[in-house]
Amino acid sequence: MPPPTGFSKMNIDAGCCSNGLVSWGLVIRNHRAEVLFAACKMSDMVAPPVVAEA
């Protein structure tokens, strides 16, 4: 669902792999659901998953 006119909405998610890596991605959209920015990255896990979820 898009945000109200004049606002942006950010969706972000991350996942932990059994090999000690973590990946995440995010998308920012405007009220017309047009993508304003998107990014993703994979890196070494620096905290246990239970800490990252806090």
pLDDT in tens, 2-51: 899 999 999 999 888 888 888 999 999 999 999 999 999 999 887 777 77
Amino acid present at 33: A
- Residues with Cβ within 8 Å of residue 50, at least 6 apart in sequence: none
Give the per-residue pLDDT at 5: 95
pLDDT in tens, 16-26: 888 888 899 99
Give the per-residue pLDDT at 53: 66
Give the per-residue pLDDT at 50: 73
DSSP 3-46: PPTT--EEEEEEEE-TTSEEEEEEEEE-TT--EEEEEEEEEE--
Q: In whole angstroms, what is the distance from residue 54 CA to residue 37 CA?
A: 25
